[in-house]
Amino acid sequence: MVISRFPWEIVMLEKYYIKPTTIDRIHQSWIASAVEQYVSWMAERRYTDSSVSRRIPIMVSFGEFAKAHGACEAKDLADHVEPFVQAWIVERAGGRRSAQRRKQIGDEVRNPIRQMLRLVVPGYIGRGRSHKPDNPFERQAPGLLRHLIEEKGLRRHSIDQYRFHLRQFAAYLERIGIDDLARLSPTVLSGFIAEYAPPRVAPEKL
């Protein structure tokens, strides 16, 4: 994706931000053109200034998250929506919010990202639940989440955390080319913990 630098885009961003450093950070994002296209789309539909200014940092953070987890092109972004949303919820809500409030926080982040991707990713729909399984290691550990609920009595928040970390670990193993859990080693586990350092993943939660 090419970062665009058209004068009208700079003027439009200055409508929402005063500090040049803030505008520079947006333009330095590898998805800058997508963000600017989304800003233009919102402006045409008369979104309030406060709504637009709240959404832009989310888009930039999403781009940084996706790039850090292997995204190279716009078409790769769709795979990182749900992991980013879950990371956002964990970081900002933790275990201190109700399930309803956590869902609201997730929707406030997920919906704008989906709007942007519909503009910049051909064929993207983004409706419904993630296609990814709750437990990507179901074959190796069948019934794990059910066991944690029924036998261990873990709460929904804890199960959501397990599900999130399992998906992150599966994505990490795929990225480094490990498709057999028998090949796991302390080095692999240490690499995962180092990459997903707090506040996203704490070692004691693995």
Based on the domain organization, do 69 and 140 belong to the same domain?
no
Residue 205 predicted with pLDDT over 50: no
Tell how far CA 192 is from the center of its chain.
Answer: 17
If residue 132 lies in a helix (H) or strand (E), which one and from where to where?
none
pLDDT tens digit string along 114-143? 999 998 888 887 754 445 667 888 888 888
Tokens of 180: 């057999």
Based on the domain organization, do 106 and 204 belong to the same domain?
no
Based on the domain organization, do 95 and 156 belong to the same domain?
no
Enter the pTM of the model: 0.58
pLDDT at 201: 42
Based on the domain organization, do 106 and 14 belong to the same domain?
yes
pLDDT tens digit string along 135-188? 888 888 888 888 888 888 888 878 888 888 888 888 888 778 887 888 899 998
Domain boundary among 128, 161, 186: 128
Based on the domain organization, do 137 and 103 belong to the same domain?
no
Based on the domain organization, do 10 and 91 belong to the same domain?
yes
The mean pLDDT value of the chain amounts to 80
Q: How many domains does the chain have?
A: 2
Domain boundary among 89, 104, 128: 128
Give the least confident one: 2-11, 13-22, 96-105, 148-157. Answer: 2-11
Domain boundary among 83, 98, 128: 128
pLDDT tens digit string along 37-47? 899 888 888 88
Residue 3 predicted with pLDDT over 50: no
Determine contact, residues 119/34, Cβ cutoff 8 Å.
Answer: yes
Based on the domain organization, do 9 and 67 belong to the same domain?
yes
Long-range contacts of 136-144 (CB under 8 A, 24+ apart): 136/166, 136/167, 136/169, 136/170, 137/166, 137/170, 137/181, 140/181
Based on the domain organization, do 112 and 144 belong to the same domain?
no
Based on the domain organization, do 82 and 175 belong to the same domain?
no
Cis previous bond, 7, omega within 30:
no
Average of per-residue pLDDT across 63-91: 90
Based on the domain organization, do 136 and 122 belong to the same domain?
no
Give residue 15's domain range. Answer: 1-128
Based on the domain organization, do 107 and 140 belong to the same domain?
no
Based on the domain organization, do 76 and 49 belong to the same domain?
yes
